Amino acid sequence: MATFTYNYKMFKCFKRKYAITEQAPPSDVKQVFSEFSDGGSFISAKQLQRFFLEHQGETDCTEDDSKKIVENALQSRKGNQDSGGGGDGVSGTGEGLTVEEFFQFLSFDEFNGPLKSQVHHDMNAPLSHYFIYTGHNSYLTGNQLSSDCSDVPIIKALQLGVRVIELDIWPNSTKDDIDVVHGRTLTTPVSLLQCLKSIKEYAFVKSRYPIIITLEDHLTPDLQAKVAEMTTQTFGDMLYFPQTEPMTEFPSPESLKDRILISTKPPKEYLDTRQFKDTSDSEKEFSEEGSVSPALSAEADDKFNGSDVDDECFNPRDRKPDQQSAPEYKRLITIHAGKPKGQIRDHLIVAGNVKRLSLSEQELEKASVSYGADIVRFTQKNIIRVYPKGTRVTSSNYRPHIGWMYGAQMVALNMQGHGKSLWYMQGMFSANGGCGYVKKPEFLLAKVPRNECFDPKRTLPAKKTLKVKVYLGHGWSTDFSKTHFDTFSPPDFYTKICIVGVPADKIHKKTKIIHDDWFPVWDEEFDFPLSVPELALLSIEVREYDKHEKDDFGGQICLPIPELKSGFRAVPLYDQKGEKLKSVKLLMRFQFT
């Protein structure tokens, strides 16, 4: 169970100068302060504990926690008075928090953030029972056609908590080693060994739960053997692979802590030459994760068709039926993968060994129209990986809910492709302590007849209503220059609040515009009826109104609604790349009815 504790560093908050001194406590804060202080001028440690328990729902809060908060405020107040300072609006010598100190405390997300910071989901179920933070072409620094391949984006992804890293592996120019590169494009390669070493170093800096490496394999058997040797030597005991076959159920994230798994297509599938009857079939196999040949530039087309590329790239059709695959390579594959040929429904039968199925965003959307229930049932035991369509050459992304609504575990996005889709991804995986694994809702796991499976397109009655109140915001004057938004006047801020989830729950609202104010006070409340709150995200975005041009961006955050803490909450905002702004925060209140 999560514990309600604060470390020593956090107790220094009352000594920091803070922009909220420009704003008075909202009337709701004053009212709650009066209620829990029994109408007094100070709120004691015991009263503060009652506020945490009854208003904020912090059931783990102890009186000792509250005492430390009050003691820290008193020491800070005394220090301000001894130094001759005005106390930043704080006065008095009572044994408790003043309303200004109470307001200041509420405005620090280190203490009073909107989400739980600890892992709290059941982590002992099979891997197929979780949404997993997944990257696509994890080695690319930019677009899909001509950017550099590097281990740097892999490191960044792991630092964010991404748990599934994709590597496309090809023979190098001399065919004696392995490159990671987006094949048949102008991207520059990086060595596989360098990528593996970086994965090992950064795999568990954010989370101890398992890393899954998905390999797009374009190698000959001798190079597959070299991959097996390289992988084993690099990862050592960190590498997990099944000791016995077949695997009829995936292990749990808890049992795989600090372990690295390999997922790819078993080599034996390449031995059947019937799979490569014509060029279109082999190209489809060659382009499993959305190759970009239709959108290649003229220069890229020339290289694609040139003899230098043909010499460098291994064509699976060249593999003879009697050529032996590398057994040591096959042995390391924990999650067997494949891409469906023929009717997709034929590949959604739940029977035998567990596996991973790869579908493009278009294939999944098309299949969901007729076979939505089959997809849900398939993902209860097996894994589906969804990847961007091949025409997304700028590394743009699709809306990840198209996969999550049907139980797809590995919804793969381009982590370098900034935008709302990635904000939603980051919001989803801020759940469960940010460990990279989020337990799927029970209705996606329930063993029910096909006609009773969850259908995200079905309109259901509202299960609960989320009430969101936006009080005020601050921090822009610290994080942005005085002329960033308007050259000759303070900014005109408003807040957009949206529900992102199943189609029936999508709704957009926004506050009024507060003109010419670095410290906007909106004090507005919105109701959001939710039919499937378990899959819903709360998207919050601050914009600066511009009459003649596009409204300026002022910060964003996306929060998983099942994880929202009730009561007053300090909500930090992030920039367009998903990096936390230093000072910008909103004071909000969340209530479920």
Of the CA atoms within 13 Å of residue 421, those in its CB half-sphere come to 20
Taking alpha carbons only, the member of 479, 516, 493 closest to residue 19 is 479
Q: Establish whether the linkage from the previous residue to 246 is cis, with ω within 30° of 0.
A: yes
Question: Taking a C-beta distance cutoff of 8 angstroms, is the pair 137, 154 a contact?
Answer: no
* Catalytic-labelled residue, pool 121, 182, 218, 347: 182
DSSP strand E in 395-457: where? 410-413, 437-439
* Catalytic-labelled residue, pool 55, 120, 129, 136: 136
Structure tokens at 505: 């729950």
Strand pairing report for 333-338 and 356-360: parallel
Name the burial class of residue 38, with classes exposed (0-12), middle (13-18) and buried (19+) by CB atoms within 10 angstroms of its CB. exposed
C-alpha span between 204 and 248 (Å, rounded): 27
* Active-site residue, 218 included: no
- What stretches of 247-294 show up as alpha helix (H) in DSSP? 279-286
Structure tokens at 41: 């001028």
* Active-site residue, 182 included: yes
- Residue 243: alpha-carbon gap to chain centroid: 32
C-alpha span between 84 and 106 (Å, rounded): 26
Question: Taking a C-beta distance cutoff of 8 angstroms, is the pair 180, 139 a contact?
Answer: yes
- What stretches of 140-208 show up as alpha helix (H) in DSSP? 152-160, 192-202
∠ CA 140-144-148 to the nearest 5 degrees? 40
- What stretches of 129-210 show up as alpha helix (H) in DSSP? 152-160, 192-202
Going from the C-alpha of 231 to that of each of 247, 270, 490, the distances in angstroms are: 21, 21, 56
Please measure the distance between the N-terminal and C-terminal CA atoms of the chain and give it in whole angstroms: 24
Position of tokens 């279109």?
A: 280
For 366-375, which contacts have Cβ atoms below 8 Å and span 24 or more sequence positions?
Answer: 368/402, 368/406, 370/345, 371/344, 371/345, 372/406, 372/453, 372/455, 372/456, 372/457, 373/450, 373/451, 373/453, 373/455, 374/345, 374/348, 374/450, 375/348, 375/406, 375/407, 375/408
- Residue 502: alpha-carbon gap to chain centroid: 18
- Residues annotated as part of the active site: 136, 182
